[in-house]
Amino acid sequence: MINAALVGIDFGKIDFEAALHELDLLTKSAGARSVITITGRRCSPDAKLFIGKGKAEELKEAIRHYAAELVILNHSLSPGQQRNLENFLGTRVVDRTALILDIFAQRAKSYEGKLQVELAQLNYLSTRLVRAWTHLERQKGGIGLRGPGETQLETDRRLIGGRVKLLKMRLAKLRRQHDTQRRLRKRNGTISISVVGYTNAGKSTLFNALTKAKVYAADQLFATLDTTSRRVYLDTIGNVVLSDTVGFIRELPYQLVAAFRATLEETVHADILLHVVDASNSVRRDQMDEVNEVLSDINCADIPQILVWNKIDLVPRLISHRPYIQRDETGRISRVFLSAHTGEGLDLLRQAISELVRLNIELQ
């Protein structure tokens, strides 16, 4: 396991302790071990080194002392900042975007998921080719190696551009297949429900509990990447299609939002969203805001939601309530409190879904 030095700078905009905890979870999910965490406060990033010269000196000493092989920053770096830090520290530097991309690359299992991850990685890499090929920025030469006057950098850009074009064509074909499947469901009057939420909120556990499926679920970030759909029978309304989707996270890299368009379209075309919230997490309100922001970005803000406050078995002060349905001032369902792990409250969620489906049908 790789020893990593973690770095977090407090710019005063988020819950800093929660952000550091999330960085540690991301690091573990990627297969690395945190040996030291360096923190600091700044009003804004340093243009050259992001963390500033003094903090970079402190980090360099920590790397030597703790024998760290990798530096992971809880921030997105420009190609220049990443290159400058690596030169200054003498070790590899990974920013938040690259860390999440690495986890996605490890977790993608389906053909479509692998295509989407590769596309995201290539889009990210294309902005950093100068860093990757600085030592090769010269004309190719030698017997059998003479090219059409291209530098190594130009050749690499051309190869990546060609691969990106191919990946987009393959994903477009898969998207058309998904569109056909969705039109058939619509024609048959089948209700589509998507499970959304912050990563590690318990979406896959809830999906398995409702569908009796065996989707991989674990106490780790981004345990699920590939969308899985199953038919579920609900009393009074019949069969619905339930889809488990990739989890959202703070500052979800735009490369992933773009590349996972086909996966996220299951959410876009849903009739109802089950927004799963980890009730035991101290920053659950912030996580809900992050999810709603991404939903807004992909034009899903107007889809009816049921807030599912999951993991009530881990929150002692909620135990007295037991599973229950909370309604707003108009009498409509706003939240369902349950535990997907123990199964408590699942019957209430089924009831809530049926009620919302009937209401939507009446309003059409």
Using pLDDT thresholds of 50, 70 and 90, give the confidence band for residue 135: very low
Tell me the average pLDDT across 214-229: 62
Quick one: 42 exposed, middle or buried, by C-beta within 10 A (0-12, 13-18, 19+)?
middle
Backbone angles phi, psi at 201, to 5 degrees: -85, -10
DSSP code at position 6: E
Tell me the average pLDDT across 90-112: 86
What's the pLDDT tens digit per position in 336-345?
999 999 999 9
**Whether residue 136 has pLDDT greater than 50:** no
What's the pLDDT tens digit per position in 29-52?
888 999 999 999 999 999 999 999
Residue 72: per-residue pLDDT = 95
Domains belonging to the chain, first-starting first, are 2-94 (3.40.50.11060), 176-363 (3.40.50.300)
pTM: 0.76
- With a CB cutoff of 8 Å and minimum separation 6, the contacts of 152 are 133, 136, 137, 138, 140
CA 222 to mean position of chain CA atoms: 6
Q: Contact, 324 vs 334, CB < 8 A?
A: no
Q: Contact, 69 vs 5, CB < 8 A?
A: no
Name the residue with higher pLDDT: 252 or 14. Answer: 14
Tell me the average pLDDT across 82-107: 90
Name the residue with higher pLDDT: 81 or 317. Answer: 81
Quick one: 301 exposed, middle or buried, by C-beta within 10 A (0-12, 13-18, 19+)?
exposed
Average pLDDT, the chain: 82
